[in-house]
Amino acid sequence: TEPARILACTWTSTKFTHRAQPGTVLLRVFIGGPRSEQHVALDGTILTGRGVTSLRSEGGVYTLGLDDGTQLEADAVVLATPAYASAALLQAGHPLLADKLSAIRYVSTATVSLGYNASDFEHPLNGFGFVIARTEPSRILACTWTSTKFTHRARPGTVLLRVFIGGPRSEQHVTLDDQALVALAREELQRIMGITAEPMVARVFRWFRSNPQYDVGHLDRVDEIEALCPPGLILTGSAYRGVGLPDCIHQGQLAAQRVIERRAESTAQ
């Protein structure tokens, strides 16, 4: 009933004392939601929690079928889905494009996050972690020293590590059960970093078909894919020109720019 333009405010530095340095105050203000959607920077209609099950185009108009049975019409479509998901949507109308998208290979990874008391470590953790060379006989791919990289992710006096397992070299490990994955991660950390302590917390996450592989010839393939896209169809995301978040954001910005250009062209005609 209040005429406020914000939904809520968390006094974060009181709620989570580790999130602010001593002597500082951190507040988190929530804007948007059903009462004040106009204050969210994005306008238009945002549909979440719905999958696209079909995509066809006729006379320059795209029709998307959604998994709740509804349909959307659009002048332009940006597919930010994994290449194999985009291929499935394009198979009927653009089989050559779909085949080239399907050729982008994906692998799966698992991450094991381990939390310790800092006092259990002799290692200074004076870096962001390590990546293991392909020639090394290791069963893990990398380890991020998360509490060093993102200091707010662990309370003072504790350490958080994130071990990456699977990927192109040992994808079979991803489907091991949680206990086996934690054991594998701990054995490798003992061998590499000398950690023998029992973790206070261990969490396993699996990322199936989440890592596109840029095989030799990838950029040529992407050029061909883009050349095969009909006007108004734009592909973006980690499958194409960079997997890191900054790359994905940059590609998203370019995709948005192309939609604006497409709109300007349509209006001019």
Min dist CB 49 to ligand FAD, Å, is 10
- Helix, coil or strand: residue 144: strand
Q: Give the footprint of ligand FAD on this chain (CB under 6 A).
A: 51-52, 80-82, 85, 109, 111, 207, 210-211, 237-238, 243-245, 248
Cβ burial of 241 (10 Å; 0-12, 13-18, 19+) is middle
Q: What is the number of alpha carbons within 13 Å of residue 78 lying toward its C-beta?
A: 14
Shortest CB 81 distance to ligand FAD, Å: 4
- For ligand FAD, the closer of residues 245 and 268 by Cβ is 245
Strand-pair category, 142-144 with 52-58? unpaired
Tell me whether residue 13 or residue 140 sits nearer to ligand FAD (CB atom): 140
Q: Which is nearer to ligand FAD, 57 or 238 (CB)?
A: 238
Percent helix / strand / coil, the chain, rounded to 5: 35, 25, 40
CA distance 110 to 163: 8
CB nearer ligand FAD, residue 13 or residue 81 = 81
CB of 234 to ligand FAD, least distance (A): 13
Q: How far is the CB of 148 from ligand FAD (least distance, A)?
A: 13
- Quote the CA–CA distance of 32 and 53 in Å, as a whole number: 29
Would you say 36 or 210 has its CB closer to ligand FAD? Answer: 210
Least spacing, CB of residue 211 vs ligand FAD, in Å:
5
CB of 57 to ligand FAD, least distance (A): 17
Neighbours of 266 (CB within 10 A): 13
Q: Please give the residue whose beta carbon sits closest to ligand FAD in the complex.
A: 237
Residue 26 CA neighbour count, 13 Å, CB half:
12
Tokens in use for 38? 């106009």
Residue 116 vs 164, nearer CB to ligand FAD: 164
Listed in sequence order, the DSSP H helices in the chain are: 12-15, 83-90, 95-102, 146-149, 178-193, 218-228, 245-268
